[in-house]
Amino acid sequence: MDFYLGLAQIVGVHTLLGLSAYCVLLTGQVSLAQAGFFAIGAYVAAMLTVLAGWHIAPAIAAASFVAGAIACAIGFPALRVKGLMLVVATLAFGEAVRLFFFNFDYQVARGEVKIGPAGGEGFRQIRFFPEHGWSTLDVLMFIWLFVALVMAALWWMDRSRAGAVLRAVGEDEVAAQSAGINVTAVKVAAMTVGGFIAGLGGGIFAHYTAHIEHAQFGVALATFAIAYPILGGLSSVFGTLIAVIFVQGFLIEGLRFLGDWRNLLFGALILLAMNVRPRGLIDAATIAAVKRMRIRNREPGNARTQGAE
């Protein structure tokens, strides 16, 4: 049972990471900086709970705001460039953050032992959950509370004018600009929200893994962050969730019985998925089909109630 709870925790945190990239991808920008914001969130939240003795909730909130602010600051210069240049710029930012934490040594003597991030060795003493007696289930509920909040917020945003503006910029920048949309502001806003969500995910990640180090936040994680929304499709927030379940649940955990061959299949299945469904697992056509089905199911019901009258 604990295995499945642990898996659900991983899925939750990776969903937050994927949703942070989803925000940025909606505006048509590919950002490989999400792992960097995730790392910032993780280190800030962990330092606040371990070194400053904060409760986890304000620590995570503070970490999100810090990551969001840095994302906003990075957004202005980085979004001057587009396409491949932006991919490389954000990749470089993510790597710079990772290398910063690789060299970041800030240890405080607490009694006999020194605590705090110790450069390449990482940050070991993150024990908020065991110290406060949270069970695995409590942690799981805590994580999914945030996942649900973020998903609901993004789903609502998608149906509001803000979502239409984001998608307009993503579809055709020139057309959006001529319709009076401030493209730079929209992109920076999306980047900021993405950084905020990534920071939130990072803060939670630091506390449930209990040990963070620079190697966890490398190019691989940045690639996973954009892989979820692209694999799942950008038409709906649920695409990202389904892609995370597909990758973490099926490709990584579900295929464990294959042993060594699992890793081989991993890349091949991503390749196959992109060839078969280039617009993601849940694309616009799927959503339209689901809507049609709901309407068709409603129609006979309506007819019956009318007949009863």
Partner 1 sequence: MSYLDVIDTLQSIADGVLFGATYSLLGIGFTLVFGVMHKINLSYAAASIGAAYASLIVLSVVKAPAIFIFLLAGLAGGIIGGVIYVVCFRFIPQANPLATLMSTVGALLLIDEIIVHATVGIPVPYPALFSDVIVNAGPFTLRGDLMFMFALGCLSMLLLLGLLYRTKLGLATRAVSQQPAAAQLCGISIPRVNGLTFVITGVVGGIAGAMIGAAIGVLSPLLSLPLTTKGLIVTVIGGLGSIPGAIIAGLLVGGFENLFQYFRGVTERDLYLMLLLFAFLVFRPGGIFSPAAGRD
Site for partner 1, rule CB under 8 A: 25, 30, 77-78, 80-85, 87-89, 91-93, 95-96, 99-100, 102-103, 119-120, 218-220, 223, 226-227, 230-231, 234, 260-261, 263-264, 266-271, 273-275, 278-279
Q: Quick check: 211 and 127 in contact, CB under 8 A? A: no
In the complex, the smallest distance separating the C-beta of residue 67 from partner 1, rounded to whole angstroms, is 18
In the complex, the smallest distance separating the C-beta of residue 273 from partner 1, rounded to whole angstroms, is 8
Name the DSSP letter for residue 247.
Answer: I
Q: Which is nearer to partner 1, 45 or 227 (CB)?
A: 227
**CB-based burial label for 101 (10 Å; 0-12, 13-18, 19+):** buried
Please list the residues that pair with 212 across neighbouring strands: 123
Q: Which is nearer to partner 1, 58 or 278 (CB)?
A: 278
User: How far apart are the two ends of the chain, measured CA to CA in Å?
Assistant: 51
Q: Which two tokens stand for residue 45?
A: 């939240």
Q: Which is nearer to partner 1, 204 or 237 (CB)?
A: 237
CA atoms within 13 A on the CB side of 84: 0
Longest Cα–Cα distance in the chain: 80
* CA 203 to chain CA centroid, nearest Å: 12
Q: Which is nearer to partner 1, 102 or 144 (CB)?
A: 102
In the complex, the smallest distance separating the C-beta of residue 147 from partner 1, rounded to whole angstroms, is 23
Whole-angstrom distance, CA of residue 139 vs CA of residue 204: 9
Using only C-alpha atoms, the chain has a radius of gyration, in whole angstroms, of 21
Q: Which two tokens stand for residue 144?
A: 């999914």
Q: Which is nearer to partner 1, 102 or 155 (CB)?
A: 102
In the complex, the smallest distance separating the C-beta of residue 119 from partner 1, rounded to whole angstroms, is 8
Q: Which is nearer to partner 1, 153 or 274 (CB)?
A: 274
